[in-house]
Chain A
Amino acid sequence: MIDLLATHYNYLMFVALVAIGLYGVTASPNLVKKVIGLNIFQVGIFLFFVTSGYVDGAVPPVVHGDVAGTYASPLPHVLILTAIVVGVSLTAVALALIVRIYDAYGTLDEEAIREVQTE
Chain B
Amino acid sequence: MTPVSTSLAVILTFAVLAAIAAILLRDVLNAIIAFAAFSFGIAVAWILLAAPDVALTEAAVGAGITTVLFLVTIAKTVRPGGERLFERIAWRSVAIVAVLVGALLTTIRSLPAVGSSEAPVATSRITEYYLQNAYPETGVENVVTAVLAAYRGFDTLGEATVVIAAGLAVLLVLRQEAYV
Interchain CB contact (< 8 A) of B173 among A29, A46, A88, A93: A93
Known: A52-B121, A100-B173. A71 touches B143 (CB 8 A): yes
CB within 8 Å of A: which of B8-52? 8-9, 12-13, 15-16, 19-20, 22-23, 28, 31-32, 35, 38-39, 42, 45-46, 49-52
For B, the interface residue count at a CB cutoff of 8 angstroms equals: 95
Interchain CB contact (< 8 A) of A36 among B13, B53, B70, B148: B70
Nearest CB on A from B160, distance (A): 8
User: Do residues B101 and A63 form an inter-chain contact, with CB atoms below 8 A?
Assistant: no
User: Do residues A60 and B52 form an inter-chain contact, with CB atoms below 8 A?
Assistant: yes
Known: A26-B93, A47-B42, A100-B174. A36 touches B31 (CB 8 A): yes
User: Do residues A78 and B147 form an inter-chain contact, with CB atoms below 8 A?
Assistant: yes
CA distance A71 to B130 in the complex (A): 11
CB within 8 Å of B: which of A33-65? 33, 35-37, 39-40, 43, 46-47, 50-65
User: Do residues B131 and A33 form an inter-chain contact, with CB atoms below 8 A?
Assistant: no
Secondary structure dominating the interface of B: helix
User: Do residues B163 and A85 form an inter-chain contact, with CB atoms below 8 A?
Assistant: yes
B166 at the interface (CB under 8 A from A): yes
Query: CB-CB contacts of A1-45 with B at 8 A, as 1s and 0s?
Result: 000101111111111111111111011111011011101100100
CB within 8 Å of A: which of B131-164? 131-132, 134-135, 141-144, 146-148, 152, 155-156, 158-159, 162-163
Interchain CB contact (< 8 A) of A95 among B70, B89, B116: B70
Give the residues in chain A near B148, CB-CB below 8 Å: 78, 81-82
Query: CB-CB contacts of B73-109 with A at 8 A, as 1s and 0s?
Result: 1101110100000010110111011001100110011
Interchain CB contact (< 8 A) of B28 among A32, A51, A99: A32
Most chain B CB neighbours (cut-off 10 Å) among A30, A52, A74? A74
Apart from the given pairs A23-B93, A56-B117, A57-B115, 14 other A-B contacts in the complex at a CB distance below 8 Å: A4-B108, A7-B113, A14-B104, A32-B74, A33-B22, A36-B23, A36-B31, A43-B42, A63-B143, A67-B131, A73-B124, A73-B130, A88-B62, A91-B69
12 A-B contact pairs sorted by A residue (CB < 8 Å): A9-B5, A15-B101, A16-B16, A21-B19, A27-B90, A36-B70, A53-B49, A55-B122, A64-B135, A74-B134, A93-B169, A96-B174
